A = this chain, B = another copy of it.
Amino acid sequence: MIILGIDPGSRITGYGVIEWVNHKAKYIDSGCIRMDVKATTGNRLKTIFEGLDQLIGLYQPDVLSIEQVFVHKNPQSAIKLGQARGVVMCAAALANIEIHEYTPTRIKQTVVGNGHATKEQVQHMVEHLLKLSRKPQADAADALAIALTHGFHGPVLGVK
């Protein structure tokens, strides 16, 4: 099973691709889709859509794993985050990819063992769990953590 984890944002969208075989994770790819800060909102969203489209074409994921967002202090940021998130989920749905959502607490709990873990702790554990040679960039690490969470809890293991 190929899992694509996405950490959407209005400036940077992190992605992480893993293969889940025999209850174990194998690292495939990770990185960031960076939006041109001078671009219009429409063109930023187009960049996310085209980036997702490329990743889906390249890795043919079975599942999109994405963070579930409940609260947001700033309503304007919530709208912007929602826009990026909507484009990601739409790109996956258009490719008939299953979408699974996990809360931030569950993701941190799964990867670090502590629902209130710091970003650094997530980066460290992602590096360790995927046997990477160096710490992944923060957004890519979050995306890999989201992908790992589906591996551990997703319906294939019958846990969910």
Interchain CB contact under 8 A, B79 and A85: yes
Pick from A20-28, A87-95, A131-139 the stretch touching chain B. Answer: A87-95
Q: How far is the CB of A53 from chain B (nearest CB, A)?
A: 10
In the complex, chain B residues whose CB is within 8 Å of the CB of A87: 86-87, 90
Interchain CB contact under 8 A, A86 and B93: no
A81 to B76, CA, bound (A): 11
Copies assembled: 2
A103 within 8 A of B: no
Interchain CB contact under 8 A, A83 and B72: no
A87 to B46, CA, bound (A): 9
Q: How far is the CB of A2 from chain B (nearest CB, A)?
A: 17
Q: Contact check: which of B41, B81, B86, B99 meets A99 at CB < 8 Å?
A: B41
In the complex, chain B residues whose CB is within 8 Å of the CB of A158: none
Q: How far is the CB of A38 from chain B (nearest CB, A)?
A: 15
Interchain CB contact under 8 A, B90 and A79: no
CB-based closest 10 A-B pairs: A82-B82, A83-B86, A42-B93, A86-B86, A78-B78, A46-B93, A45-B90, A79-B82, A42-B99, A72-B75
8 pairs, CB–CB < 8 Å, chain A vs chain B: A42-B89, A71-B75, A71-B76, A75-B75, A78-B82, A79-B79, A79-B85, A86-B90
Given A70-B75, A79-B85, A83-B83, 9 further pairs, Cβ under 8 A = A40-B99, A42-B92, A42-B99, A45-B90, A46-B90, A69-B79, A72-B79, A75-B78, A86-B86
